[in-house]
Each structure stands twice: as structure tokens, then as C-alpha cells.
Amino acid sequence: MNSKVKDFLLFYGVSSLSVAFDQWTKWWVRESIPFGGQWLPEWLAWLSPYARIVHWYNSGAAFGMFQNGNLVFTILAFVVIGVLVYYFPRMAHEDWTLKLAMGLQLGGAAGNLIDRLLMGKVTDFISVSVFPVFNIADASITVGVIVLLLGVWIKERREKLENGEVPAVADASVEPAKEG
């Protein structure tokens, strides 16, 4: 199979899985838990003070920031999606971490954009301790950013090693020169 086709399958496959899982979980929450309610399986009741599934809406950005900015974030999501789709074919074939990161970010942006267009707000449902309530799309964007940062760090580290700018590992068998 052509490497470009594989790249596009990774990019759109990851983003499609992210959107599908995000939309399915949001649908399940809206159908199963009344707004403002919470749920946790009985066998996980001990987690209740720390983690639970809740039914909440968000008209702002990820993790509840900038409430009532739905129009701004709808436009921003279109811009982000456009930039990702435009930039993806221009990436180096070898940079799979960037492709994975961009696929996760595309899926997250599209998942929340679907909610904004259909409902005018985003369904959030994952509640962990005092952290703001979030959803699979928010998590996908966040994981995508982490993968991107790790990929950039690994690439820079590899380039420095190849250029001899960073010692790979100190050799314990070599004793340092003594002064004097």
C-alpha cells in the first residue's frame, strides 16, 4: 500500500475513532443520566468522591473555560480543522507521532464542533476530583498535544545525538582525567 494512503488512513482513522467514541459516549450520557445527575457503577462506588460520570453542558472551551463563547469556539474549531487538514499532506512521511497527534486533535475538534452545531453547547461528563468536567473530545485534544510535544522532544533529541551535541550515555568505565 502506498505510504501516502497509509498516512491518510492513520490520520483520518484516528480522528474518526475519536469522533465516534466521543459522540457515542455523549449520546449515552444524554440518554441515561438526567442533566445535573451523576452515575457510577455500584462496584465502583468507592471512587465516587474522586471520579464519576455526570451530565453537564459547556458553552465555552475545554474543561469549562471561557463560558458563553460558543460562537467563538465554533469558528475556532472550523479554523483548527482547516489548518490540520491543509497541513497534514505537507508533513514528512517518517513523523508518525505528529500524524497521530494531528489525528487526535482533528477528532477532538470535530467531536466538540458537532455538539456546538447541533445543540449550541458541548456535553461534558467525565468528572475527576476537583478538575473541571470534560469529555472524550477534550481528552483527545489533550492527548494529541502531549503526543505532539513528546514527538518534538524525541525528534530534537535524536537530531542532537546524530550531530554529537548531546552525549548518549556517560560511560562509567572511563575515568575522568585528573587535574594537577
Stretch 83-90: mean pLDDT: 91
The confidence score (pLDDT) of residue 115 equals 96
Length of the chain: 180
Contact 109, 80 (CB under 8 A): yes
Please give the positions annotated as active site.
Answer: 124, 138
- Give, as one character, the DSSP assignment of residue 92: -
Task: Determine phi and psi for 126, rounding to 5 degrees.
Answer: -90, 115
Comparison of pLDDT for 70 and 35, the residue scoring more: 35
Question: What is the tens place of the pLDDT at every residue in 37-48?
Answer: 999 888 988 888
State whether residue 38 is helix, strand or coil: strand
Average pLDDT, the chain: 87
What pLDDT, on a 0 to 100 scale, did the predictor assign at position 107? 97
* pTM, 2 dp: 0.81
pLDDT at 66 over 70: no
Predicted confidence (pLDDT) per residue in 129-171, tens digit: 888 899 999 999 999 999 999 988 988 888 888 888 766 555 5
Q: What is the 3-state secondary structure (H, E, C) of 42-85?
A: HHHHHHCCCEEEEEEEECCCHHHCCCCCHHHHHHHHHHHHHHHH
